[in-house]
């Protein structure tokens, strides 16, 4: 497969491109402005299309869905910068701040996106009502030999381009074939081979962006958000022992373990993940009908 530029890949892309401080961010919104909104934050390596099988269930349940590609991923820009946690958090907060919503949002993060979602809720508590942490990442660097290799100074980037990326492509191909999602193989490979992706991943490892995330969950201790934790019993990327530790750092929350589900549970168990969420609050029109100010006619009819 020949290498395609980001501009070529964007030709058939859906959604819009939001100009942020560090570059263009690819955003896809579905639903009406008067619906309760859920913002989806993807994990490392796979962009926002990892939610594609989840979206129909969320829309059927009445949610307005908003998802975006982190920098270095998917169709968002891939600037030559330091890809540390604060860089991604700044991007995510800019996206959040640009969303018009009549009430606080529900925020769902997967894997590394769960750590980002926790940090976002701490930074903008007034904007978030519910927090859903799916397979919440604790410390990928501690669990991965390759994570240590790719973080080596001087050779980490070279190893990522010539070893890490081919291994990642083969692994994704196996996993997508196993779940009958062969169409995602071409999508992943074409975006991963576009300039900037390997460099972004190498920078994430060099800066230990996927390392210890305890502090982001711990800062939720005094949170008043509704919090839900969802994981798969067969997840080897974020094993149950890590999820147990994350849960120990959180305030009161609801927990759902999906049996036999792996790390790609958003693709394989989308209906079950959706069922964990309480139904969205009434839309804006219904909400306004409850809290609208009384009209002169109302006041006149209320007189004795």
Tell me the per-residue pLDDT of 30-79, one tens digit each, with 9 for 90 and over.
Answer: 999 889 999 999 999 999 999 999 999 999 999 999 999 999 999 999 99
Other Cβ atoms closer than 10 A to 242: 21
Give Cα separations from 227 to 39, 137, 179, 215, 255 (angstroms).
14, 16, 29, 17, 9
Compute the average pLDDT of residues 201-223. 95
Mean pLDDT score of the chain, rounded to an integer?
Answer: 90
- What are the E-state strand segments in 50-202? 64-68, 105-110, 128-134
Q: How far, rounded to the nearest angstrom, does the alpha carbon of residue 127 sit from its chain's CA centroid?
A: 17
Provide the pLDDT for residue 114.
Answer: 98
Are 65 and 40 in contact by the 8 Å Cβ rule? The answer is: yes
Provide the pLDDT for residue 145.
Answer: 74
For the chain, what percent of residues have pLDDT higher than 90? Answer: 79
Cα separation, 23 vs 286, in Å, equals: 37
- Between 281 and 216, the higher pLDDT residue: 216
18 has a pLDDT exceeding 50: yes
248 has a pLDDT exceeding 70: yes
Predicted structure pTM score: 0.90
Residue 282 pLDDT grade (very low, low, confident, very high; cuts 50, 70, 90): low
> Domain residue spans in the chain?
6-139+212-282
Runs of H (alpha helix) within 197-278? 197-206, 214-218, 240-249, 265-268, 270-276
pLDDT in tens, 39-50: 999 999 999 999
Cα separation, 292 vs 214, in Å, equals: 43
Domain 6-139+212-282: top CATH class: alpha beta
183 has a pLDDT exceeding 70: yes
Provide the pLDDT for residue 148.
Answer: 73
Q: Which residues contact 139 (CB under 8 A, 6 or more apart)?
A: 210, 211, 212, 213, 214, 242
Residue 262 pLDDT grade (very low, low, confident, very high; cuts 50, 70, 90): very high
Compute the average pLDDT of residues 187-191. 96
285 has a pLDDT exceeding 50: no
81 has a pLDDT exceeding 90: yes
For the chain, what percent of residues have pLDDT higher than 70? Answer: 92
Are 123 and 93 in contact by the 8 Å Cβ rule? The answer is: yes
Provide the pLDDT for residue 107.
Answer: 98
């Amino acid at each position: 497969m020949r290498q395609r530029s980001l501009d070529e890949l964007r030709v058939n892309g859906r959604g819009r491109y939001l100009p942020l401080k560090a570059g263009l961010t690819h955003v896809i919104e579905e639903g009406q402005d008067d619906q309760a909104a859920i913002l989806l934050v993807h994990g490392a390596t796979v962009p926002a299309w990892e939610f594609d099988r989840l979206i129909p269930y969320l829309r059927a349940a009445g949610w307005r869905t908003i998802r975006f590609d982190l920098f270095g991923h998917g169709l968002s820009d891939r600037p030559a910068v330091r890809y540390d946690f604060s860089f991604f958090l700044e991007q995510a907060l800019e996206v959040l701040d640009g969303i018009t919503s009549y009430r606080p949002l529900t925020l769902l993060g997967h894997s590394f996106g769960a750590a980002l979602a926790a940090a976002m809720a701490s930074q903008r508590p007034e904007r978030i009502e519910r927090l859903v942490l799916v397979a919440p990442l604790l410390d990928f660097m501690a669990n991965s030999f390759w994570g240590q290799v790719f973080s080596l100074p001087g050779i980490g980037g070279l190893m990522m381009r010539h070893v890490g990326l081919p291994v990642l492509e083969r692994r994704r191909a196996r996993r997508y074939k196993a779940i009958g999602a062969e169409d995602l193989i071409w999508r992943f490979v074409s975006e991963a081979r576009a300039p900037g992706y390997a460099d972004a991943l190498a920078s994430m490892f060099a800066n230990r962006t996927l390392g210890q995330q305890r502090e982001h969950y711990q800062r939720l201790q005094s949170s008043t958000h509704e919090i839900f934790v969802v994981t798969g019993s067969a997840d080897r990327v974020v094993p149950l022992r890590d999820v147990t530790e994350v849960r120990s750092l959180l305030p009161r929350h609801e927990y759902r373990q999906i049996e036999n589900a792996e790390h790609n549970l958003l693709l394989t168990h989308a209906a079950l993940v959706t069922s964990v969420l309480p139904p969205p609050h009434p839309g804006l029109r219904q909400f306004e009908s409850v809290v609208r100010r009384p009209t002169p006619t109302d006041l006149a009819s209320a007189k004795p």
